[in-house]
Structure formats: C-alpha cells, structure tokens
Amino acid sequence: MKQIIIEGNNYLEGTINISGAKNSAVALVPASLLSDDIVTIDNIPDISDIDALNEILKYLGAKVDRNATSMTIDSRNINNKEIPESISSKLRASYYFMSALLGKYKHVEMYFPGGCSIGARPIDQTLKGFRALGATVVEENNKFIIDADELVGNNVYLDMPSVGATINTILVAVRAKGKTVIENAAKEPEIVNVATFLNQMGAKIRGAGTSKITIIGVEKLGKCYIEVIPDRIEAGTYIIAGALMGKNLRINNIIPGHVEMLLSKMKEMGVNMEIGEDYVTVSKTDNLKPVSVKTLGYPGFATDLQQPLTTLLTQCSGVSKLEETIYENRFQNVEYLNLMGADIKINGRVIDVKGPSKLIANTVKATDLRAGACLVLAALAAEGKTTITDASHVLRGYEKIVEKLTAVGAKIEIEDI
C-alpha cells in the first residue's frame, strides 16, 4: 500500500505546471481505436489510469509507443476479444472501449466498468444510446454482450447530461449510418476535446460543448494528432492549495474559463489572486468569507472539485454550505477532515462547514481520488506530520503530485508499505 506523508504549514512558492486532463485522456485513448490509421495523442498525463488503459490496448493487440508525454497508437490489427474484468474494473473509463469497439466492429464483450466508489454510477444512459443506434444489449453476471447488425443514426435524449453517456454515444455514432442527434448532452470541455480528436480523423460532429450534438456517420476514420487539454480539476486543486498556503503560487498552463466556477467562488470568499491568460497566481488569504456551493454539470461547479474545496471552506469565518447533486456518496472525506480538526456536519446531500478551524496532522485515509486530494490539501495546511493511507487513489489522477508540490516548497513524500 502506498501512503503520502506531509509535514504541513509550509508556504508554497513558485510555479506548478498543469498536466493534460485525466478525464479527456482516458476517453481519447480508447477513442483512438476508431481510427483506421495511426494516431498520436500529446500532453498525456503520467497517471495510473492511463497505465490501465494502456494495458487494455496492449491486451487487444494495439501497438503503443508511449514516451514521457505522448502516445502513438496503431490499432489497425487489433483482435476484438472480451476484455477481462480484472483490467476493466480498474477504472470507469474502461467503458469507452465498449463504445469504440462497438462503433468499429458492431460487437463487444465487456464487464461493468470500475471507478471510485462515490455512488451507484449506473450506465443506463450509455446503454440507451447504444440501443437507440440499433444495438442489442445482453447483460449476464455483470458482463455485457453488445451486438448490432447495423448501426444507424437516431435521436437520443439523455435523461441527465451524463459525461460518459455523451462520449459513448458519440463514439458509436461517428461510424453509424446517417445522422445522430444527442439532446441534453453534457457540455464538459473534455467532450469538446474528444469531438475535436474525432473530427480531425474525419468524423462529422457539430455542437460539442452545447446540449445538442449532431453527428453524421462516416465509413472510415484516418490519421490524426491531438493535444490533451489542461486538467481543470488538477488546476483547481492547486489553486485551492495556493489559497491555503500560497505565497504568489503560480498555477500555469491552464484555461481559466474552465475553472471559472471555482474562481468565482474564490473571489466571493475574498481570496487574493491574479488571473492571467493561462495562469492564476494565488496567495494564502486570511479572513475568508463563507460561501454556498452546489455541484452541477459544466459550466456549473464541478463535483470533482467539491471535496478539494471543502478543505478551503474549513478556513472561512462562518458556516459554508456545500450541496452535492451528482453523486450520493461523495462525502467520505468529511470524517477524516473532522479528525484533522474541521467542524463539518453532513445532512443528506448537504454539508455545513463551520470555520475557521485550526487543522492538525493525523493519520487519514484517501477513500477515493478527490477525497485524497482534499486530504493532501488539508495536510499541506495542517500543523504537524499527516499520513494519508490508500494513496494509490491519488496517483490515479494527479501526475507527479509529490514532485510538483516538492518543487514549490512542500515537505511531502510517498512510501510503499
């Protein structure tokens, strides 16, 4: 087991460069299978979720050339065989292989995907998209056998703007016959990145980033090159670190528009920051005002930043309210923040965070990826040495977190026990 150890209460000074977005990269890699040629994906983050996808690519027989920041994938001679549950259960994004293989071969066999345990996370909307385009889905003991004689475009109305269902429906529709219209689509920037990638291969996707996406199917997709957009959740996490412990901490290589909901809330709190064209400089600020936050699909407040933000709310003077509307079990960090001196009460889907609290080191557990990020932030601000167990969750989504934080003055190490 990996654990992260942080000696807290040290200022963070200097620059942190943001990596490519996890939630884009984990869709782009499986989407590469739709090409009939070689594709290159640049600015790939070095995180364990990408290692797991790479394992699936290799299992299927794709030729992958991965260096520090890029991946070249040749899937021209892959073997479309059942992906073992032991690999697909490692992450949620494994189900992008479901749609990419279905789109290309009209047949796929795969198990229910994995991912952080933060709620039920059903895939009914993805299956609704597959069925609308002509596929038959048989589910047996957690395994899905999905077939189509022919994939034909259709109108798909998503019951909720699901990121996964939007991307999965696009991945099938690009190779279906005729026109697909996805309504109530999710609008996350990662979806735009995936649509741009496919359009560069020759797909015809319009409207990505809005709630109505139109796709005209094509027979072949070709060679292409794409860069992964900067990770807005990694950026947001380090911007919060700056508000807690920064001394002109510069978070570089970001798209500020992608973190606007966070920056607006931080302005409301009174955080001392400067927003540039592709960076934010942020410093520790005292006497922060409490705020109310509700998580929503993009461009609303990102659920993935809810747990990291909670750490900052413990430093506001008064009671902040935070409502989680996307997942039913994304407050597992609260128990551990309270162990570190926070005063947080859970009332169903809402937490009341009373501050300011003096955070004190303890031994805490990263129950999931963003809970882990929340505890890293708390440990950076806390008095004493915090141990965060189950730290492999954190490594799924934060590239070189130890190196990046060490470079700006944090006392952080990771150990295998």
Which positions touch ligand EPU (CB under 6 A)? 22-23, 26, 92-93, 116, 119, 121-126, 160, 162-165, 186, 303-304, 326-327, 369-370, 397
Shortest distance (Å) from residue 190 CB to ligand EPU? 6
Shortest distance (Å) from residue 186 CB to ligand EPU? 6
Angstrom distance (rounded) from CA 385 to CA 225: 44
Angstrom distance (rounded) from CA 81 to CA 138: 16
The residue among 209, 201, 211 whose CA lies nearest residue 171 is 201
C-beta of 83 vs 288, nearer to ligand EPU: 83
* CB 306, CB 330: distance < 8 Å: yes
Active-site position among 116, 224, 316, 374: 116
Shortest distance (Å) from residue 102 CB to ligand EPU? 15
Shortest distance (Å) from residue 24 CB to ligand EPU? 8
Angstrom distance (rounded) from CA 233 to CA 259: 8
Q: Which residue is nearest to ligand EPU (CB)?
A: 164
Q: How far is CA 389 from CA 273, 399, 417, in A?
A: 32, 18, 10
Shortest distance (Å) from residue 93 CB to ligand EPU? 4
Q: What SS3 state is found at 340?
A: coil
Residues 6+ apart with CB under 8 A from 269: 243, 285, 288, 289, 290, 291, 312, 316
C-beta of 296 vs 360, nearer to ligand EPU: 296
Shortest distance (Å) from residue 27 CB to ligand EPU? 7
C-beta of 22 vs 404, nearer to ligand EPU: 22
C-beta of 194 vs 241, nearer to ligand EPU: 194
* CB 308, CB 379: distance < 8 Å: no
Tell the residue number behind the tokens 């540039």, with chain if given: 276
Angstrom distance (rounded) from CA 307 to CA 245: 17
User: Taking the CA atoms of the chain, what radius of gyration do you get in angstroms?
Assistant: 21
The residue among 325, 309, 303, 298 whose CA lies nearest residue 269 is 309
C-beta of 123 vs 288, nearer to ligand EPU: 123
Q: How far is CA 75 from CA 15, 69, 228, 276, in A?
A: 38, 19, 19, 40
C-beta of 127 vs 410, nearer to ligand EPU: 127
* CB 94, CB 53: distance < 8 Å: yes
Q: What SS3 state is found at 142?
A: coil
Q: What SS3 state is found at 55?
A: helix
C-beta of 239 vs 361, nearer to ligand EPU: 239
Q: Is 116 annotated as catalytic?
A: yes
Shortest distance (Å) from residue 319 CB to ligand EPU? 26
Tokens of residue 178, six digits: 């005729």
Write out the catalytic residue numbers: 116
